[in-house]
Amino acid sequence: MRPAAPDSGIVFRRLDAGAEIRAGWENTIESSLSTVLSNGEGIRVSTIEHLMAALAGSGIDNAIVELDGPEVPIMDGSAAPFLHLIERAGTLAQDEPRRAVKILKPVAVSDGEATAALLPDHGFSLSFEIDFANPLINRQDMAVTPDLDTFKTELAPARTFGLLDDLPRLQAAGLGRGGSLDNVVVVSGSRVLNHGGLRYADEFVRHKLLDAIGDLYLAGGPIVGHFRGMRSGHALTRRLLAALFADRDSCCATTLAEPAPLGVVVKPDTRRIARA
């Protein structure tokens, strides 16, 4: 990760391919298990959601992410390693206000029993509900208004997870090849196969919140509003952002008073974000 000038946004630079892709929802492509950017010419960057969540949680608006391959390293399956490295490197305040997206009216998308929605609110907050036909995961629900401390302690360490019974299907589809007990919480029936078990009793829903924070940062800045997810995932959040920007009355551009991570809006204006 390298510094970038004001209003640069988050840009992924493929050193091996000589290409750059701005981290915006309009540059994502359909993918159910991770978030994938594409430049439309065959160059992709996969599994960006955990790094994007770390950048969002750190309040970083502008950065260049250099890679020598098509996928962000999975690390331990959470955002905590990225957050640690960002804290070690340090951040710099820039002489430009933080740009944000203020939700003006409810927007929602659904797919069967799964729903994702954005609702007006005074700051950024999230809630998520999952319901798995598994005796360990079962139904979990959590709501959070994340500041940096909350993000660091309650969400960033939550790891991605999967069911052991799903492994043959994923491998047959050519997915999950790099998955191991070092970077995925693997559940078999009512047991966690990873040494040390879970980091939180409800680590599963916490990770879904973490994914949502990373995916929502593809709006181009912090969201001023409430996100509600029910059994949803990356694909539905992508559709939600597309629906948000397709309706010019659903949101407006605004600025934040100071670079507080996931902060509260104090200087709203009425400039509309252009139709996608």
268: how many CB neighbours lie within 10 A of its CB? 15
50 is annotated as an active-site residue = no
Q: What single string gives the DSSP state of each residue in 46-92?
A: B--HHHHHHHHHTT---EEEEESSSB---TTSSSHHHHHHHHHH---
Q: Which of 125, 133, 117 is nearest to 224 (CA)?
A: 125
**Locus of tokens 């191991």:** 180
Alpha-carbon distance of 72 to 255, in angstroms, equals: 30
Q: What angle (nearest 5°) sits at the alpha carbon of residue 110, between those of residues 201 and 43?
A: 85
Specify whether the CB–CB gap between 141 and 205 falls below 8 A.
Answer: yes
Alpha-carbon distance of 109 to 241, in angstroms, equals: 9
163: how many CB neighbours lie within 10 A of its CB? 17
- Cα 268 to chain centroid distance, Å, stands at 24
Alpha-carbon distance of 206 to 209, in angstroms, equals: 5
Alpha-carbon distance of 256 to 101, in angstroms, equals: 10
From the list 50, 207, 226, 234, the catalytic residue is: 234
Q: What element of type H or E holds 255? A: strand 251-256
Query: 10: number of CA atoms within 13 Å, CB side?
Result: 28
Return the active site residues: 234
